[in-house]
């Protein structure tokens, strides 16, 4: 069979190849193909390997040579709060002066400030802001994004966020996977009646079931937000209804959220800056993925999750951006990878595994995404680099040259206009 597209003369193709979840030392085991090619047919990978792929080329095939470049699977950002209104630079001074994140929330700022702006925003405004963010993420090589609701905390606004996700998924090249997070904070109208809000959330899960607007449910399990017991109640109800379940766990206070997540069968537990050794052991003997968000530690000037220790103990780790207006207002996914390398002490191969096949696994899309293998979606990135370590070492910048999603080119090298010595 001939290909629609062949990319060849690639310096090195790097891809995970083992069956996920990749745990512990498996995370460092990736395939490297030198002087390689990728052949694409109908948006899927037809073949890949060493050589020029000549047998897949005829007069109708588009052929591109990528000498001195590397190719990677598209990055999967498996934890974002993409859809929201406004920004929170007015809290920046307090945050930098050391006012705790949870204190800002308690006085009606933080998440609750964004909730009131998101409630007021039109669908169109939310859509356009999120679309612009997706474009930025795409330029950094992200081809799949998980996007949570949770800035509405009432039926109407949560639904508005979920419908924005649906429209983005239909119209933007990035695949947008929707998650319900009504349990992101307690809304002001229920501050003194959490019990009723919990009941409301369960009713919402039932009501939304028929509408098919999300497959996953997430809860912010944290001191003064949702307790272990409340999280257990909500996620058990969600599970009974057939949803996949996730948690924001042990982000600030070590409550034991990760251990609870394992016992409930969460596909991932996220953040984990304050995880206990006991819960690391529980994770290592489970299929729950530890989803680490180093951009948030960096931005909030907090400690980093013990990802090195987790991998050494046999845990499956993934990395995500946590793009949101409060604790990580940045779409630069490569910076997240570079922080993982520099502060979490992950090897380049572990970083790659953590942004491709492991997030694909916990988002339940590993049959089509997360690695470059015959039959999977042709989602890949051509990088302006000669080896994988270089993109982590040369930090803070964007190394993407081109991005392809389902075989279609969606980012093309953006060139700076030529600047000569006689510019002045």
Residue nearer to ligand NIG on the CB measure, 254 or 409: 254
Contacted by 296, from Fe ion, ligand NIG, none: CB < 5 to 8 Å by type:
ligand NIG
Residue nearer to ligand NIG on the CB measure, 230 or 379: 230
Cβ 24 vs Cβ 312: under 8 Å: yes
Please state, in angstroms and rounded to a whole number, the distance separating the CA atoms of residues 175 and 405. 9
Contacted by 36, from Fe ion, ligand NIG, none: CB < 5 to 8 Å by type:
none
Residue with tokens 């047998």: 55
Binders of Fe ion among residues 356 to 415 (CB under 5 A) are none
Contacted by 325, from Fe ion, ligand NIG, none: CB < 5 to 8 Å by type:
ligand NIG
Please state, in angstroms and rounded to a whole number, the distance separating the CA atoms of residues 243 and 258. 19
The closest of 66, 17, 25, 87 to 45, measured between CA atoms, is 17
Least distance (Å) from Fe ion to the CB of residue 289? Answer: 15
Chain contacts with ligand NIG (rule: CB under 6 A): 81, 110-111, 114, 220, 248, 251, 296, 322, 324-327
Residue with tokens 């931005």: 299
Burial class (CB in 10 A: 0-12, 13-18, 19+), 125: middle
Residue in the shown chain whose Cβ atom is closest to ligand NIG: 326
Contacted by 326, from ligand NIG, Fe ion, none: CB < 5 to 8 Å by type:
ligand NIG
Please state, in angstroms and rounded to a whole number, the distance separating the CA atoms of residues 267 and 294. 19
Residue nearer to ligand NIG on the CB measure, 30 or 274: 274
Least distance (Å) from Fe ion to the CB of residue 363? Answer: 15
Alpha-helical regions (H) of 121-241: 123-139, 155-171, 194-209, 228-240
Residue nearer to ligand NIG on the CB measure, 114 or 179: 114
Residue nearer to Fe ion on the CB measure, 70 or 82: 82
Least distance (Å) from ligand NIG to the CB of residue 274? Answer: 12
Least distance (Å) from ligand NIG to the CB of residue 65? Answer: 42
Least distance (Å) from ligand NIG to the CB of residue 254? Answer: 15
Binders of Fe ion among residues 306 to 335 (CB under 5 A) are 322
DSSP letter, residue 215 = S
Question: 314 vs 282, 303, 307, 317, 339, CA distance in Å?
Answer: 10, 22, 11, 9, 21
Contacted by 327, from Fe ion, ligand NIG, none: CB < 5 to 8 Å by type:
ligand NIG
Contacted by 4, from ligand NIG, Fe ion, none: CB < 5 to 8 Å by type:
none
Residue 223, Cβ neighbours under 10 Å: how many? 12
Least distance (Å) from ligand NIG to the CB of residue 341? Answer: 21
Least distance (Å) from ligand NIG to the CB of residue 101? Answer: 7
| Max Cα-Cα span within the chain | 70
DSSP secondary structure letters along 3-61: -SEEEEEEEEEEEE-SPSS--GGGGG-EEEEEEEEEEEETTEEEEEEES--GGG--TT-
Residue with tokens 């052929």: 63
Residue nearer to Fe ion on the CB measure, 178 or 371: 178
Residue nearer to Fe ion on the CB measure, 221 or 385: 221
Interface residues with Fe ion (CB under 5 A)?
322
């Amino acid at each position: 069979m001939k290909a629609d597209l062949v990319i060849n003369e690639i310096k090195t193709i790097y891809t995970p190849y083992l069956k996920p979840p990749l745990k512990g030392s498996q995370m460092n085991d990736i395939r490297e193909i030198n002087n390689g090619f990728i052949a694409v047919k109908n948006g899927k990978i037809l073949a890949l390997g060493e050589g020029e792929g000549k047998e897949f080329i005829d007069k109708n095939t588009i052929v591109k040579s990528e000498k001195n470049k590397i190719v990677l699977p598209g990055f999967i950002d498996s934890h974002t709060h993409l859809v929201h209104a406004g920004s929170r630079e007015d809290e920046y001074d307090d945050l930098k002066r050391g006012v705790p994140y949870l204190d800002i929330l308690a006085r009606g700022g933080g998440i609750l400030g964004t909730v009131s702006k998101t409630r007021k925003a039109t669908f169109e405004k939310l859509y356009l802001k999120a679309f612009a963010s997706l474009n930025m993420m795409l330029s950094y090589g992200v081809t799949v994004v998980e996007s949570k609701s949770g800035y509405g905390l009432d039926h109407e606004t949560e639904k508005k966020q979920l419908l924005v996700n649906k429209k983005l998924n239909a119209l933007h090249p990035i695949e947008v996977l929707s998650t319900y997070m009504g349990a992101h904070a307690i809304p002001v109208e229920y501050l003194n009646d959490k019990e009723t809000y919990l009941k409301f959330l369960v009713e919402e899960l039932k009501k939304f079931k028929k509408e098919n607007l999300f497959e996953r449910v997430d809860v912010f399990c944290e001191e003064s937000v949702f307790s272990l017991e409340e999280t257990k109640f909500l996620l058990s109800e969600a599970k009974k209804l057939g949803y996949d379940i996730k948690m924001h766990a042990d982000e600030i206070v070590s409550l034991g959220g990760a251990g609870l997540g394992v016992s409930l069968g969460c596909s991932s537990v996220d953040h984990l800056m304050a995880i206990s050794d006991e819960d690391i052991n529980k994770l290592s003997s489970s299929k729950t993925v530890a989803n680490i968000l180093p951009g948030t530690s960096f931005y909030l000037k907090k400690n980093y999750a013990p990802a090195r220790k987790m991998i050494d103990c046999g845990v499956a780790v993934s990395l995500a951006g946590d793009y949101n207006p409060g604790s990580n207002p940045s779409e630069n996914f490569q910076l997240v990878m570079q922080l993982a390398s520099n502060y979490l002490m992950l090897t380049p191969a572990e970083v790659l595994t953590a942004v491709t096949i492991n997030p694909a696994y916990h988002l339940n899309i590993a049959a089509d995404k997360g690695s470059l293998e015959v039959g999977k979606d042709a989602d890949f990135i051509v990088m302006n680099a000669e080896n994988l370590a270089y993109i982590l070492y040369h930090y803070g910048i964007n190394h993407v040259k081109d991005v392809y999603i389902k075989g279609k080119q969606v980012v093309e090298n953006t060139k700076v206009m030529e600047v000569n010595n006689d510019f002045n």
